[in-house]
Amino acid sequence: MSHIQENLTQLLSLIPQNVKLVAVSKTKPLEDIVSAYEIGHRAFGENKVQELVSKHEKLPQDIDWHMIGHLQRNKVKFIAPFVHLLHGVDSFRLLRTINNEAVKCGRIINCLLQVHIAEEDSKFGFSEDEVLSILQSAEFLEMQNINIKGLMGMATYTDDNLQVRNEFKGLKLLFDNIKSHFFANDSNFSDLSIGMSGDYKIAIEEGATIIRVGSIIFGHRKYL
Ligand SMILES: *Cc1c(COP(=O)(O)O)cnc(C)c1O
């Protein structure tokens, strides 16, 4: 087994069956993804549209591609035909564009609404109030080609585990609240995407159904 295969196998043995692992392959070469693919992994995450499209073209077509980063509206069209789940939906205008592009390619695109839970203001995402108002807006209710699967969040980058835990707890509360008010009879709204290499254990304890893990599987990234 390669290191990547060992890391992945080990990680999968540590996470509960009901938690889905998105292997974050951003900046990593195709062969790293192939290595994980060879032992059966199919869910990969990228945060740049160009890289996502290029990898999608070159790798097996049964991979589920997750767009986990901030998405610019003018780039939605490049991934709309194939993307499995958009984690970083963070504006109403983006939602509108996704719906339009989904209509054009005859798809219903799965989306998570990204909620700002971190202390830093650099991270993208809606406030809780914004999420609630979107879900009630008439225009949103008419968007037929979007499937809101749940919420996504990124905790503050800190060693303070209690703070991270509290941020996840807050998002889980919002998730439960939205579920009961807007999606009580809709099993589609079921995903909470929280947790990365440094905080996935806490995220799982706080209700993650999807974790997005890169470094633990593929090693540290070198940014140029
Ligand atoms: C890079 C990235 C991850 C994975 O980060 P690791 O710390 O390498 O696990 C998860 N989520 C998002 C949104 C990312 O950009």
pLDDT tens per residue across span 54-111: 999 999 999 999 999 999 999 999 999 999 999 999 999 999 999 999 999 999 999 9
Please report the pLDDT score of residue 221 as a whole number.
Answer: 87
9: Cβ contacts below 8 Å, ≥ 6 apart: 1, 39
**Average of pLDDT values for 181-187?**
94
Decide if pLDDT at 121 tops 80: no
End-to-end CA distance of the chain: 29
* Pocket mutation for ligand 1, best pick of 24, 67, 117 (most atoms within 8 Å of C-beta): 24
Please report the pLDDT score of residue 205 as a whole number.
Answer: 98
* Pocket mutation for ligand 1, best pick of 114, 192, 196 (most atoms within 8 Å of C-beta): 196
Q: Would you say residue 109 lies in a domain? A: yes
* Pocket mutation for ligand 1, best pick of 48, 68, 193, 222 (most atoms within 8 Å of C-beta): 68
Q: What are phi and psi of 215, to 5 degrees?
A: -55, -40
Please report the pLDDT score of residue 122 as a whole number.
Answer: 63
Q: Would you say residue 224 lies in a domain? A: no
CA of 213 to the centre of ligand 1 (A): 6
For residue 107, count CB atoms less than 10 angstroms from its CB and return exposed for 0-12, middle for 13-18, buried for 19 or more. middle
Q: Would you say residue 111 lies in a domain? A: yes
CA of 159 to the centre of ligand 1 (A): 16
Closest atom of ligand 1 relative to the 22 alpha carbon: 10
208 lines ligand 1 (CB under 6 A): no
**Average of pLDDT values for 38-59?**
98
Please report the pLDDT score of residue 223 as a whole number.
Answer: 66
Q: Would you say residue 127 lies in a domain? A: yes
Decide if pLDDT at 129 tops 70: yes
Type of residue numbered 166:
N
**β-pair partners for 89:** 113
Reported residue count of the chain is 224
Decide if pLDDT at 174 tops 80: yes
The structural domain count of the chain equals 1
Q: Range of 74's domain?
A: 3-218
Please report the pLDDT score of residue 123 as a whole number.
Answer: 62
**Average of pLDDT values for 25-54?**
98
CATH number for position 14:
3.20.20.10
Q: Would you say residue 223 lies in a domain? A: no
